[in-house]
Amino acid sequence: MATTTVRRAKSSPWARFMRWASFEGFFTHVVMVIVLFVIFVPFLWMVGTTFKDRLEFATNSGAIVPRRFSLVNYGYMLTAMENLPIYMRNSFVLAFGTVALEVFTSCLAGYAFARMQFRYRDLIFVGMLVSLFIPRTGGLMAVYELMSFLKLRNSILGLILYFSAGVPTAIFIMRQTFLAIPKDIEESAFIDGASWFQVFWRIALPIAAGGMVVIATLSFIGVWSDYLTTFTLIDSDTQMTISVGVQKLRTTGLYESALSPRFRGKFAGEAADATMFLTAALPVIIFYAALQRWFMKGLMEGAIKF
Amino acid sequence: MTVESRTTEPAGRTSTLATLVREFRAAREAKVKTNFFGYVFIAPALILYLVFSIWPMFRGFVMAFTDYRFIYPKTLWAFNGLKNFREIGSDKVYWSSLGISLRYTLMVIPASIVLALFLAVLISKVRHFAGFYRWIVYLPVILPIAVTLLMFGQFYGEKFGFINVNLRQLGVAKPPNWLGNVRYALPCVALADIWRGIGFPTVLFLIGIYGINAELYEAAAIDGATALQQFWKITIPLLRPTFLLILVLSSGIVGATEQMMILTGGGPQNSTRTIGLYFYQVAFQFGDLRMGYSAAMALSLGLVSAVLTTFWFRVLRER
């Protein structure tokens, strides 16, 4: 009697892989990865450059991946660029300061517009939104003059105040967030005798934390990367942020004798600059990577206004 | 207990703005009790906004009609009517830099839109990792602009830049100095700007594409439409509001300033001196720091932007 083996349904890893990567989807992925790689060539090249020492840079500058890795640029950047920590600190102070101020003011205002009744409430809100569409021509000069007048020109504090004035979008988002909270919780709190501020602080705010994160993310990223306003308003080294300071910290063209013997002849100016550029971008990249869900949400809510 | 939550999702054509105006009118009829704390709560935000956003808006507008020179504080309110604008008419640098700005805009915007649409369509077709692709596509947008531009500055470098070194290896004898060449400088800066900005329209297109009902495509496929036909007849027309949004939001590129400042400083023989750079220089770097004149130029630029925006609205109006 001949035995016939029964063929079991193929569930080998290969078969499962082929089912997962249906032909069309897989092809699209491949194209996508190639496209993205091409797009990111400048960025990848810069990252590769940070690992090249002087010899490697001079001979193999065109390659993305260095033949020989070296950390001399990082060493140089961390020890010899004196203003780097100052600039970084200023950037952080500016970013977090703006976030704090903006979140604080927009939460208060958003809650008031959402839940409180007062005369002209809606008029003020609509007026604020509409005024966003009026272009601020000559704005930079007017701001320069204003800051000079307020003696806030060359200061991080001045910048914080200026950037925090972008509240309308934040207020809009917070108002949406507060409107979506069911009113019963607040009402029962009022019945129990809570004041407006207590209701706001203990009940509404914790629930609306998501909206706050959205605003914080948008603000941080927007403020960290700013160039024009910061460049215009700030001159002194003690107040400079890293996003503008990258231009000043460049070592290309620096005389060899100005460097300490440890570094002379070891590294290329451009490579050291590349390292600094990457470092300037790193905090915002990390922030963006960690909070991208909220960032995307904030983007879309901002666009929905239209 | 019913949960009462008021959503302000725009329904069809009504925007949140229209809804708010309706509510305002309704509230005005009903006598509402005034909560004093309301004013207290909105005060900090409102004061910030009024002082640092509304006031500069007025001041900038008024400044355009004065002959304000920053280093002479007495000229703060020196009205001179339309004299600034008449001077603009005869300022050759103004007109040449305006031309450069417009050329720059033509380089950046069409390419950005086409590339962004391409990327968005690609991303919309993948099931997994779409979030990752969205994230990475938007990454160049959030990088500090100085970092991006200096990076491209090195990329375009004459001796050690990526392009030239590889061109030499491929046998090209004398690859050009990209940023130092009068013909290539502006397109090179445009490329850097496109690179930087591509994420934003891509995400907007994605949102638009996600909003298109999948059944439309299925019905078209049943009727025998090819993928290309589906694209032209379904996707593109339904993305019209997105096109409009992108064009309106991008019209600020006419005033591009930082890109030129960081990469070329006005460029080889002023070939990259856009209008934005020019009036920045007039206000903050040249001679008397003539902010009044500069503000007048900025105002004219705002008018150009407004004309452009109106034009887009007319062309892409919802039927």
A63-118: pLDDT as tens digits: 888 888 888 888 888 877 778 888 889 999 999 999 999 999 999 898 888 888 88
Could you report the per-residue pLDDT of B192-205, keeping only the tens digit for each? 999 999 999 999 99
Q: What is the pLDDT of residue A101?
A: 93
Could you report the per-residue pLDDT of B75-100, keeping only the tens digit for each? 777 787 788 888 888 888 889 888 99
Is A166 a residue whose pLDDT tops 60?
yes
What DSSP assignment string belongs to chain A? Answer: ----PPPPPP--HHHHHHHHS-HHHHHHHHHHHHHHHHHTHHHHHHHHHHT--HHHHHHHTT-SS-SS---HHHHHHHHH-THHHHHHHHHHHHHHHHHHHHHHHHHHHHHHHHH---TTHHHHHHHHHHHTTS--TTHHHHHHHHHHHTT-TTSHHHHHHHHHT-HHHHHHHHHHHHHTS-HHHHHHHHHTT--HHHIIIIIIHHHTHHHHHHHHHHHHHHHHT--HHHHHH--STTT--HHHHHHHT--TT--GGGS-TTTTTTS-HHHHHHHHHHHHHHHHHHHHHHTHHHHHHHHHHHHHT-
Could you report the per-residue pLDDT of B111-137, keeping only the tens digit for each? 999 999 999 988 888 877 788 888 899
B147/A243 Cβ within 8 A? yes
Which of A275, A287, A289 is CA-nearest to residue B136? A289
Is A225 a residue whose pLDDT tops 80?
yes
B17/A129 Cβ within 8 A? yes
Mean pLDDT over each residue of chain B, to the nearest integer: 82
3-state secondary structure (DSSP) of residue B74? helix
Position A221, amino acid:
I
Name the band, by pLDDT with cuts 50, 70 and 90, for residue A1: very low
pTM of this structure: 0.82
Cross-chain CB nearest to A109 (options B41, B142, B164): B41
Produce one character per residue of B99-123: b if its CB has 16 or more CB atoms within 10 Å, e if not.
ebbeebbebbbeebbebbbebbbbb
Check CB contact of B18 with chain A, cutoff 8 Å.
no
Name the band, by pLDDT with cuts 50, 70 and 90, for residue A15: low
Q: What is the pLDDT of residue B191?
A: 93
Mean pLDDT over each residue of chain A, to the nearest integer: 81
Check CB contact of B133 with chain A, cutoff 8 Å.
yes
A128/B49 Cβ within 8 A? yes
Q: Return the structure tokens found at B111.
A: 């390419």
Cross-chain CB nearest to B147 (options A129, A138, A281): A281
ipTM for the whole complex:
0.81
| A179, B6 Cβ separation under 8 angstroms | yes
A62/B162 Cβ within 8 A? yes
Q: How far is B267 from chain A (nearest CA, A)?
A: 17
Q: What is the pLDDT of residue A103?
A: 92
Could you report the per-residue pLDDT of B5-24, keeping only the tens digit for each? 344 444 444 566 777 777 66
Residue B234's alpha-carbon distances to A211, A303, B112, B187, in angstroms, are 35, 22, 21, 33
Is A146 a residue whose pLDDT tops 60?
yes
Could you report the per-residue pLDDT of A278-301, keeping only the tens digit for each? 988 999 999 888 888 777 777 776
Handedness of CA B23, B28, B31, B34 (dihedral sign): positive
Could you report the per-residue pLDDT of A116-141, keeping only the tens digit for each? 888 888 888 999 888 888 878 878 88
Measured in whole angstroms, the distance separating CA A204 from the mean position of its chain's CA atoms is 27
Would you tell me which CATH number, out of the four given (1.10.3720.10, 3.40.50.1010, 1.20.1630.10, 2.40.160.20), belongs to the domain A82-249? Answer: 1.10.3720.10
Name the band, by pLDDT with cuts 50, 70 and 90, for residue B3: very low
Q: Return the structure tokens found at B221.
A: 């496929």
3-state secondary structure (DSSP) of residue B282? helix
B302/A137 Cβ within 8 A? yes
Cross-chain CB nearest to A105 (options B45, B144, B151): B45
Q: What is the pLDDT of residue A259?
A: 64
Residue of chain B with shortest Cα separation from A304:
B10
Domains of chain A, by residue range, sit at 14-76, 82-249
Check CB contact of B83 with chain A, cutoff 8 Å.
no
A137/B41 Cβ within 8 A? no
Which of B142, B102, B152 is CA-nearest to residue B256? B102
**In chain A, count of helices (H) and strands (E)?**
18, 0
Which of A56, A53, A112, A124 is CA-nearest to residue B165? A56
Q: Residues A251-268: what's their mean pLDDT?
A: 66
| A243, A226 Cβ separation under 8 angstroms | yes
Fold category of B84-315 in CATH: MetI-like fold (1.10.3720)
HSE-CB of A203 using CA atoms within 13 angstroms: 19
B56/A143 Cβ within 8 A? yes
A31/B59 Cβ within 8 A? no
The Cα–Cα gap between B274 and B257 comes to: 7
Q: What is the pLDDT of residue B26?
A: 65
Which of B298, B131, B157 is CA-nearest to residue A294? B131
Domains of chain B, by residue range, sit at 33-82, 84-315
Contact residues, chain A, for B131 at CB < 8 Å: 292
Q: What is the pLDDT of residue B10?
A: 41
Q: Residues A204-230: what's their mean pLDDT?
A: 86
Most confident of A187-191, B26-30, B165-169: B165-169
Q: What is the pLDDT of residue A96?
A: 93
Check CB contact of B127 with chain A, cutoff 8 Å.
yes
Of A14-23, B72-81, B249-258, B263-272, the one with minimum mean pLDDT is A14-23
Contact residues, chain B, for A88 at CB < 8 Å: none
A164/B48 Cβ within 8 A? yes
Could you report the per-residue pLDDT of B183-193, keeping only the tens digit for each? 888 999 999 99
Q: What is the pLDDT of residue A252?
A: 66
The Cα–Cα gap between B38 and A117 comes to: 7
Could you report the per-residue pLDDT of A181-216, keeping only the tens digit for each? 888 887 888 888 777 777 778 777 788 888 888 889
A181/B295 Cβ within 8 A? no
Measured in whole angstroms, the distance separating CA B45 from the mean position of its chain's CA atoms is 26
Position B17, amino acid:
L
Cross-chain CB nearest to A32 (options B133, B207, B294): B133
Cross-chain CB nearest to B45 (options A106, A146, A231): A106
The Cα–Cα gap between A64 and B159 comes to: 16
Cross-chain CB nearest to B35 (options A117, A200, A277): A117
Contact residues, chain A, for B295 at CB < 8 Å: 137-138, 141-142
Q: What is the pLDDT of residue B116?
A: 93
Name the band, by pLDDT with cuts 50, 70 and 90, for residue B109: very high
Q: What is the pLDDT of residue B192?
A: 93
HSE-CB of B272 using CA atoms within 13 angstroms: 27
The Cα–Cα gap between A208 and A185 comes to: 13
Q: Return the structure tokens found at A14.
A: 């290969």
Check CB contact of B239 with chain A, cutoff 8 Å.
no
Q: What is the pLDDT of residue B181?
A: 84
In chain A, the percentage of residues whose pLDDT exceeds 90 is 8
Q: What is the pLDDT of residue B12?
A: 45
Total length of chain B = 319
Is B158 a residue whose pLDDT tops 80?
yes
B298/A164 Cβ within 8 A? no
Greater confidence, A9 or B94? B94
User: CB neighbours of B12 closer than 8 A, spacing ≥ 6?
Assistant: none
Cross-chain CB nearest to A42 (options B56, B151, B291): B151
Residue with the two structure tokens 């007062």: A118
A171/B4 Cβ within 8 A? no
Contact residues, chain A, for B126 at CB < 8 Å: 25, 28-29, 32
